[in-house]
Amino acid sequence: MAASIFATLALPFIAHWYLIARKGESMQDAIRQAAADLARSSYAIALTGAGISTESGLADFRGPKGIWTTDKQAEAKAYQRYDMFLTDPRAYWEEMSGTVGTHGEFYKLLRQAQPNPGHLALARLEHMGIIKCTITQNVDGLHEKAGSKNVIHYHGTVDKLRCTACGLRYDVEKVSLDEIPPRCGCGRPLKYDVVHFKEPIPSDIMQAAEAEVMKCDVMLVCGTSAVVYPFATLPRLLRSRGPARSSARIIEVNAEPTPLTHEAVSDYFIEGKTGEVLPAIAEAVAALI
């Protein structure tokens, strides 16, 4: 049934069909179709958001039980954090290190988290030669812990510090925090290499991500709400400007529909836990190659 629908129906209806028929046999059809698209791809990439790490014990931000859904004060503080760094780097570091407040404890939790089957499935697809690059919003480093090698951290990582003046990055373990704020060799204060609200994406990261999008013919979008920009523009970039835009496939795996689903940017939507759907896709791909 799925094959005939893909062959004969317009894109918006395909996306809607997978949205409303997402259980039982239709779910299996979608997984088989995703595996077939990936197996015959020449350059597939993955985009991931906070939803892929919820099964590692890390709450997402905008889901029903997300950090900002349940704690509006935490969301408000997140919007102020970059301004805090610019105006009072010491206060920023006191909060981020846990000297003041609880944000430091959250970052410790990120470092202690372990990859789940969703991360492992993407690493497996990379090892098969299918996924060429993973572009992630997550700062937790779980893709690397799972074994993925080519990862672009669009919003940075807690394992690095970055100078916003010269762009130099440091391993956080190699920087003394006896005095805060720690400083770059150029004399300017360092910040965690995570992108806060109102902070621009580092140009080297943005260019690397867009270059990967422009090369790909299949995009696997996993666990992202697709409402944070400019990350949310990447699927749209493929659809509007990519060399393979007329034939490119965008596969969406998420716990709930997103703007990519509703606007038919994605070709089809598979509703479910990434830790369950992605291993099933990887297993189906392995059977095809």
d(CA 135, CA 48): 6
The residues, ordered by sequence, that sit 6+ positions from 2 with a Cβ below 8 Å of its Cβ are 26, 29, 30, 32, 33
d(CA 139, CA 241): 28
Task: With beta carbons less than 8 A apart as the criterion, state whether 130 and 38 touch.
Answer: yes
Task: With beta carbons less than 8 A apart as the criterion, state whether 38 and 44 touch.
Answer: yes
Tokens of 182: 């720690």
Task: With beta carbons less than 8 A apart as the criterion, state whether 154 and 137 touch.
Answer: yes
Q: Which of 135, 141, 140 lies closest to 230, judged by CA?
A: 135
d(CA 38, CA 59): 29
- Which DSSP category does 200 fall into? P
Tokens of 252: 């969406």
d(CA 94, CA 43): 43
Catalytic residues: 155
CA 252 to chain centre: 12
Task: With beta carbons less than 8 A apart as the criterion, state whether 113 and 56 touch.
Answer: yes
d(CA 211, CA 199): 21
The residues, ordered by sequence, that sit 6+ positions from 4 with a Cβ below 8 Å of its Cβ are none
Residue 178 CB neighbours (<10 A): 5
